Chain A
Amino acid sequence: MSRSQKESTLAALLRDRPRRGRPPREVSRQNVYVALSRNQKELVSVLARRLPDGIVRADIPDLAIMVLSTRMEGLRRATSGRTREIPEGITDLESLYLLWDLPPAKHDGDEKRWTSIRVSPQQAIDLGRVHGTLNVLFGATRSEVFALALELLEQFVNHDYAGVEAASLAEMRERIVGVYL
């Protein structure tokens, strides 16, 4: 390369290139603390690999909470006009697993470690809302609620997602609402 063609230092600095750290977002995400087992963390990675390129591992918590809040909205709609928020026969958190045909909640004995997941503001509110409801009804913890959300996302990916070319979170959300509501 001749001397005149050499890139200036400023141009090199301004050139767009992948950077380390959190990706820039229009609305910054919030930390939420949950206890996850090694298997659950592995599940997050597996799900990220199975979703399109536009969805990265960091988006999985948002996506899981989207599925959970949509399924809960379906439950609320079923009981709209009734005197209970969820059906009479839902007696504990495991009943929700059974209602939604999920494999039973795993108590694999794997040690759970507190970890922070980063979720968008709307999903943070949604998670808080579902956690509040299930905590009042069954004493469910935030970690249990997030574990339920992960299971629901896995079910969505396994059964309802096949072949969909949704490359962004917004498109995925549309798809989830279309399937469950």
Chain B
Amino acid sequence: MIDGLNPALELERFAQPKWDRLGVVMPPFSIEADPRFMYISDDTRRALSKVSFMVEAGQGASVVVGEVGTGKTTLASWFHSRYQRRPDFVAARVDEPPKRSGLLLLRRIAAEFDLRTRRATEDQLNEFRGFLVRQAEKGVLPLIIIDEAHELGVEQFVELRRMLNFRDPKGGKAFQLILLGRPELDINLRDVPDFNDRVATRSSLDPLTPDDTKSLIEYRLLAAGRDPRQRPLFTDEAILPIWRETRGYPRSICLLCLHLCLEMLDVNADHIDEAFVNDFLEKHQSYRRLENNQ
């Protein structure tokens, strides 16, 4: 260490991008599922309104399908964070359901609700039934959110269906269920017609349009703290090549914009236009491989 300088800290300082030069206080294009950065497109808004209506009306199961990178996990985080803080709901989120076994799924859900886990399916169902009765007495409605639900097997759907038969004292469904997964989920559901019949609403998340892509970029910058009165960081002409490259998938858009911002900071540019995007895509083909490895 020389004159109080810590080489490790100095290295970190240079390795960290200077986001403040973009006028933001945090990285605007993180690809983590963060509800604070959730851009609400029409598809997302439709899913939010329909699913939340069904949840609060106590209709049982809701399904949201979307391709990889369309924002399902962010939506799951949104539902979990919103309902978890409500006094009349208790929410549990299963990010990655266990493979095939119905009992393992029940145990996982029980663990999320801090319930005792049992070794037999019937015992676990009874444990869960007792929990639902206690919650109903308190006027609390449990909500289970299962992400990556396309990985659920037939046996697991059977157990979920059995659970959906539990009723609260008023005769309504004793808990609510939201399943989010890739489009295969819809195909898998055809194999379990008993469960499929109990699905109250289906929504799909599609890739964004060029207009939505522009709105997403602007929203993310705004959410990260950029003053909207400042000159736009991305020009209108830059949007189309970004949309073409990413095909409108939100996660891909964020990843590309993250790299564009880093490149911009690197070359000391002050905005990103069409030529900048095209140059970047020509020079840095490798960023896509990073995306595929995510």
Q: Interface residues, chain A, CB within 8 Å of chain B?
A: 75, 77-79, 81-84, 87-92, 94-96, 98-99, 104
Question: Are B82 and A78 in touch, CB under 8 angstroms?
Answer: no
Shortest beta-carbon distance from A95 to chain B in Å: 4
Nearest CB of chain A from residue B90's CB, rounded to whole Å: 13
Distance to closest chain A CB from B243 (angstroms): 20
A-B pairs under 8 A by CB, number: 62
Contact check, B40 vs A88: say whether CB atoms are below 8 A apart.
Answer: no
> Is chain B's binding surface mostly helix, strand, loop or mixed?
helix
The 10 closest A-B pairs by CB, nearest first: A89-B52, A89-B48, A78-B57, A87-B52, A99-B49, A98-B46, A95-B49, A88-B52, A87-B56, A87-B53
Q: Among residues 16 to 56 in chain B, which have CB atoms less than 8 Å away from a CB atom of chain A?
A: 40, 42, 45-53, 55-56
Would you call B270 an interface residue if the criterion is a C-beta within 8 Å of the partner chain's C-beta atoms?
no
Q: Bound state CA distance, A89 and B48, in angstroms? A: 5
Nearest CB in chain B: distance from A154 CB, A: 19
Is the Cβ of B53 less than 8 Å from the Cβ of A75? yes
- Is there a chain A Cβ closer than 8 Å to B234's Cβ? no
- The contact of A91 among B48, B56, B88, by CB within 8 Å, is B48
Using a CB-CB cutoff of 8 Å, which residues 59-86 of chain B contact chain A?
A: 82-83, 86
| Residues from chain A with Cβ under 8 Å of B46 in the complex | 98-99
A104 adjacent to B83 (CB under 8 Å):
no
Q: In whole angstroms, how far apart are the Cα atoms of A90 and B57 in the complex?
A: 13
Nearest Cβ on chain B to A45's Cβ, whole angstroms: 30
Pairwise interchain contact B88-A95, C-beta atoms closer than 8 A: no
Is the pair A98, B55 in contact by a Cβ cutoff of 8 Å? no
- Residues on A with C-beta less than 8 A from B57 are 77-79, 87
